[in-house]
Amino acid sequence: MPGASRALRAGDLPALLAIQQACYGAAYIESAQVYARRLASPVNCSRVWERDGQVCAYLAAYRSLLGKVTPLHGDFGVPHGAADTLYVHDMAVLPSCAGQGIARALLESVWEEGRAAGLRHSALVSVQDSRAYWERCGYDARAPSGQADLARLASYGDGAIYMVRELDLAG
Protein backbone atom coordinates (compact mmCIF):
# COMPACT_ATOMS: atom_id res chain seq x y z
CA MET A 1 0.00 0.00 0.00
CA PRO A 2 2.34 2.76 -1.12
CA GLY A 3 1.34 6.33 -0.39
CA ALA A 4 0.73 8.41 2.69
CA SER A 5 -1.94 10.17 4.71
CA ARG A 6 -1.86 13.95 4.97
CA ALA A 7 -4.23 16.81 5.79
CA LEU A 8 -6.93 17.62 3.24
CA ARG A 9 -6.24 20.97 1.52
CA ALA A 10 -8.35 23.28 -0.63
CA GLY A 11 -6.39 22.20 -3.71
CA ASP A 12 -7.62 18.63 -3.11
CA LEU A 13 -11.30 19.48 -3.58
CA PRO A 14 -11.44 18.59 -7.32
CA ALA A 15 -10.00 15.14 -6.52
CA LEU A 16 -12.39 14.73 -3.57
CA LEU A 17 -15.36 15.55 -5.82
CA ALA A 18 -14.14 13.06 -8.44
CA ILE A 19 -13.84 10.35 -5.77
CA GLN A 20 -17.39 11.10 -4.58
CA GLN A 21 -18.66 10.79 -8.16
CA ALA A 22 -16.91 7.44 -8.54
CA CYS A 23 -18.20 6.04 -5.24
CA TYR A 24 -21.66 7.42 -4.46
CA GLY A 25 -25.08 7.81 -5.92
CA ALA A 26 -26.32 11.35 -6.51
CA ALA A 27 -28.09 11.46 -3.13
CA TYR A 28 -24.77 11.48 -1.22
CA ILE A 29 -22.74 13.94 -3.32
CA GLU A 30 -21.72 17.00 -1.28
CA SER A 31 -20.55 20.19 -3.02
CA ALA A 32 -17.18 21.89 -3.18
CA GLN A 33 -18.75 24.82 -1.30
CA VAL A 34 -19.72 22.55 1.60
CA TYR A 35 -16.20 21.07 1.73
CA ALA A 36 -14.60 24.53 1.53
CA ARG A 37 -16.60 25.60 4.60
CA ARG A 38 -15.57 22.40 6.39
CA LEU A 39 -11.90 23.04 5.63
CA ALA A 40 -12.25 26.51 7.17
CA SER A 41 -13.67 25.09 10.40
CA PRO A 42 -11.24 25.24 13.35
CA VAL A 43 -12.31 21.71 14.36
CA ASN A 44 -11.64 20.14 10.94
CA CYS A 45 -9.19 17.21 10.88
CA SER A 46 -9.90 15.74 7.43
CA ARG A 47 -7.26 13.71 5.61
CA VAL A 48 -6.44 12.33 2.17
CA TRP A 49 -4.39 9.38 0.99
CA GLU A 50 -1.95 10.44 -1.69
CA ARG A 51 0.03 8.14 -3.96
CA ASP A 52 2.45 9.39 -6.61
CA GLY A 53 0.96 12.90 -6.39
CA GLN A 54 -2.63 11.65 -6.84
CA VAL A 55 -5.31 11.78 -4.16
CA CYS A 56 -6.92 8.35 -4.20
CA ALA A 57 -8.99 8.52 -0.98
CA TYR A 58 -10.25 10.98 1.57
CA LEU A 59 -11.68 10.98 5.09
CA ALA A 60 -13.74 13.99 6.21
CA ALA A 61 -13.65 14.32 10.00
CA TYR A 62 -13.79 16.86 12.82
CA ARG A 63 -13.77 17.22 16.60
CA SER A 64 -17.31 17.13 18.00
CA LEU A 65 -19.48 15.85 20.86
CA LEU A 66 -20.74 12.34 21.51
CA GLY A 67 -24.33 11.93 20.31
CA LYS A 68 -24.25 14.90 17.91
CA VAL A 69 -25.09 14.04 14.31
CA THR A 70 -23.92 16.22 11.43
CA PRO A 71 -26.56 16.24 8.69
CA LEU A 72 -25.78 15.41 5.09
CA HIS A 73 -24.50 18.65 3.48
CA GLY A 74 -23.94 20.08 6.99
CA ASP A 75 -21.04 22.17 8.23
CA PHE A 76 -18.43 21.12 10.77
CA GLY A 77 -19.65 23.27 13.64
CA VAL A 78 -17.59 24.10 16.69
CA PRO A 79 -19.06 22.17 19.63
CA HIS A 80 -20.59 23.93 22.61
CA GLY A 81 -18.23 22.66 25.29
CA ALA A 82 -15.07 20.60 25.11
CA ALA A 83 -14.96 18.18 22.17
CA ASP A 84 -14.86 14.52 23.22
CA THR A 85 -15.54 12.79 19.89
CA LEU A 86 -13.87 12.43 16.52
CA TYR A 87 -16.77 12.57 14.07
CA VAL A 88 -16.05 10.71 10.81
CA HIS A 89 -18.43 12.34 8.37
CA ASP A 90 -17.35 10.67 5.15
CA MET A 91 -14.71 8.35 3.77
CA ALA A 92 -14.26 7.15 0.20
CA VAL A 93 -11.57 5.35 -1.80
CA LEU A 94 -11.30 5.36 -5.59
CA PRO A 95 -12.62 2.01 -6.83
CA SER A 96 -9.28 1.37 -8.60
CA CYS A 97 -7.55 1.59 -5.19
CA ALA A 98 -10.07 -0.41 -3.16
CA GLY A 99 -8.97 -3.44 -1.16
CA GLN A 100 -5.46 -2.13 -0.48
CA GLY A 101 -5.90 -1.10 3.19
CA ILE A 102 -6.11 2.63 2.42
CA ALA A 103 -9.41 3.16 4.25
CA ARG A 104 -8.07 1.49 7.40
CA ALA A 105 -4.84 3.51 7.20
CA LEU A 106 -6.84 6.75 6.98
CA LEU A 107 -9.01 5.71 9.92
CA GLU A 108 -6.00 4.82 12.04
CA SER A 109 -4.39 8.19 11.28
CA VAL A 110 -7.45 10.15 12.46
CA TRP A 111 -7.99 7.86 15.45
CA GLU A 112 -4.42 8.55 16.55
CA GLU A 113 -4.94 12.28 16.03
CA GLY A 114 -8.14 12.07 18.09
CA ARG A 115 -6.40 10.21 20.92
CA ALA A 116 -3.58 12.78 20.90
CA ALA A 117 -6.19 15.55 21.21
CA GLY A 118 -7.74 13.81 24.22
CA LEU A 119 -10.88 12.64 22.42
CA ARG A 120 -12.48 9.53 23.91
CA HIS A 121 -14.83 8.44 21.12
CA SER A 122 -15.24 8.30 17.37
CA ALA A 123 -18.71 8.48 15.83
CA LEU A 124 -20.24 8.34 12.37
CA VAL A 125 -23.38 7.67 10.39
CA SER A 126 -23.40 4.38 8.52
CA VAL A 127 -25.14 4.56 5.12
CA GLN A 128 -25.49 2.38 2.03
CA ASP A 129 -25.50 -0.89 4.00
CA SER A 130 -22.02 -0.27 5.45
CA ARG A 131 -22.87 -1.26 9.05
CA ALA A 132 -20.94 -4.56 8.91
CA TYR A 133 -17.80 -2.74 7.70
CA TRP A 134 -17.99 -0.23 10.54
CA GLU A 135 -18.63 -2.99 13.08
CA ARG A 136 -15.40 -4.68 11.90
CA CYS A 137 -13.69 -1.34 12.62
CA GLY A 138 -14.98 -1.43 16.22
CA TYR A 139 -18.09 0.77 15.91
CA ASP A 140 -21.42 -0.13 17.53
CA ALA A 141 -24.90 1.26 16.84
CA ARG A 142 -26.06 3.85 19.37
CA ALA A 143 -28.93 6.27 19.69
CA PRO A 144 -28.17 9.93 18.91
CA SER A 145 -28.42 12.37 21.81
CA GLY A 146 -31.88 13.82 21.16
CA GLN A 147 -34.72 14.65 18.78
CA ALA A 148 -32.70 17.24 16.83
CA ASP A 149 -29.98 14.68 16.20
CA LEU A 150 -32.55 12.06 15.17
CA ALA A 151 -33.83 14.57 12.60
CA ARG A 152 -30.27 15.14 11.35
CA LEU A 153 -29.80 11.37 11.08
CA ALA A 154 -32.93 11.22 8.89
CA SER A 155 -31.19 13.50 6.34
CA TYR A 156 -29.23 10.39 5.24
CA GLY A 157 -32.36 8.43 4.34
CA ASP A 158 -33.66 5.03 5.35
CA GLY A 159 -31.19 2.66 6.93
CA ALA A 160 -28.84 5.33 8.31
CA ILE A 161 -27.35 4.28 11.67
CA TYR A 162 -25.45 6.37 14.20
CA MET A 163 -22.41 4.41 15.41
CA VAL A 164 -19.72 4.94 18.07
CA ARG A 165 -16.27 3.50 18.77
CA GLU A 166 -14.17 4.11 21.87
CA LEU A 167 -10.80 5.58 20.90
CA ASP A 168 -8.88 3.74 23.59
CA LEU A 169 -9.38 0.52 21.63
CA ALA A 170 -6.31 -0.86 19.93
CA GLY A 171 -6.24 -0.09 16.18
Asked if the model's pLDDT at residue 55 lies above 70, the reply is yes
Distances (CA, A) of 7 to 15, 34, 55, 112: 14, 17, 11, 14
User: Following DSSP, what letter does each residue of 71-96 receive, concatenated?
Assistant: PTT---PPPSS---EEEEEEEEE-GG
Q: Is residue 156 part of a domain?
A: yes
Assessment of whether the complete model's pTM goes beyond 0.75: yes
Does the CA dihedral 44-12-70-128 come out positive or negative?
negative
Please tell me the distance from the alpha carbon of residue 58 to that of residue 74, in angstroms, as a whole number.
17
**Any idea what the CATH number is for the domain that residue 95 is in?**
3.40.630.30
Helix, strand, coil % over all residues of the chain, rounded to 5: 35, 25, 40
Q: Is residue 51 part of a domain?
A: yes
The number of domains in the chain is: 1
Asked if the model's pLDDT at residue 162 lies above 90, the reply is yes
Q: Is residue 134 part of a domain?
A: yes
Q: Is residue 59 part of a domain?
A: yes
Write out the H or E segment, with its range, that includes residue 114: helix 102-116
State mean pLDDT over 138-150. 93
State mean pLDDT over 67-73. 93
Q: Is residue 11 part of a domain?
A: yes
Q: Is residue 171 part of a domain?
A: no
Write out the H or E segment, with its range, that includes residue 104: helix 102-116
Q: Is residue 83 part of a domain?
A: yes
**Domain span including residue 91:** 4-166
Q: How confident is the model at residue 168 (pLDDT cuts 50, 70, 90)?
A: confident
Q: Is residue 153 part of a domain?
A: yes
